[in-house]
């Protein structure tokens, strides 16, 4: 693998000092090691100078995202935003289609009170015959035909009677 060394070299190290004195020694050591031959070897091996930079507590660091560059982070945010926008648009289209279908069904099968029907049903047979006639007419005639409401009332009455 090309550039294997570049991918395996550590870029950050978190060092915890037990007390403030050890931290101060490390800071002063950074200034003192400039001419040390071991430091020159380290500098040649890793290609960078050693720096001690105070940081936040280790519990506040998200270590798994240290390799993500700001550009990658921005691209991920853009992709996530576009995906969410697409899904919201798709769900809005689905809801509009369902609402349109519901309105079309209400035009065909109006939700009217059964007591307002202009018919006087004396027997269940006449009621059943009228409901079947209404269903056949709806089934065979496409277009702007609206049910008389007998079919819906029959279905509601049948459900009330027989469960």
Comparing CA positions, the residue from 162, 124, 141, 161 lying closest to residue 150 is 124
Mean pLDDT on 122-147: 74
Tell me: the pLDDT tens digits for 20-37? 888 887 777 766 666 666
Dist CA 111 CA 117 (whole Å): 12
User: What pLDDT score does 55 carry?
Assistant: 67
Q: Which two tokens stand for residue 99?
A: 């609402």
Least confident of 5-14, 32-41, 128-137: 32-41
The yes-or-no verdict on residue 48 having pLDDT over 80 is: no
Model pTM score: 0.45
Residue 92, helix vs strand vs coil: helix
Q: How far is CA 109 from the centre of its chain?
A: 36
Would you state the pLDDT for residue 136?
Answer: 81
Of the listed ranges 41-45, 126-130, 133-137, 157-161, the least confidently predicted one is 41-45
Contact 50, 39 (CB under 8 A): yes
- Confirm if 49 and 36 have CB atoms less than 8 A apart: no
Looking at every residue in the chain, the average pLDDT score rounds to 78
H, E, C per residue of 94-128: HHHHHHHHHHHHHHHCCCCCHHHCCCCCCCHHHHH
Q: What is the pLDDT of residues 80-113, one digit of tens each?
A: 999 999 999 999 999 999 999 998 888 777 777 7
Angle of helix 124-140 relative to helix 150-162, nearest 10 degrees? Answer: 130
Residue the block writes with tokens 């050591």 = 29
**Nearest Cα residue to 104 out of 151, 138, 140:** 138
pLDDT score of 120:
60
Closest CA to 131 of 158, 162, 94: 158
């Amino acid at each position: 693998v090309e550039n294997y060394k570049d991918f395996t070299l550590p870029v950050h190290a978190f060092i915890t000092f037990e007390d403030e004195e050890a931290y101060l020694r490390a800071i002063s050591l950074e200034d003192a090691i400039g001419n040390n031959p071991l430091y020159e070897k380290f500098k040649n091996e890793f290609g960078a100078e050693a720096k001690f930079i105070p940081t936040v507590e280790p519990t506040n660091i998200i270590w798994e995202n240290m390799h993500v560059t700001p550009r990658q982070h921005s691209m991920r945010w853009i992709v996530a935003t576009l995906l969410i926008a697409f899904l919201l648009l798709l769900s809005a289209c689905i809801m509009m289609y369902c609402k349109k279908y519901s309105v079309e069904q209400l035009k065909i099968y109006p939700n009217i009170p059964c007591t307002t029907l202009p018919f006087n049903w004396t027997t269940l047979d006449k009621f059943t015959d009228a409901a079947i006639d209404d269903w056949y007419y709806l089934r065979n005639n496409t277009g702007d035909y609206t049910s008389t409401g007998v079919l819906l009332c029959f279905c509601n009455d049948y459900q009330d009677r027989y469960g």
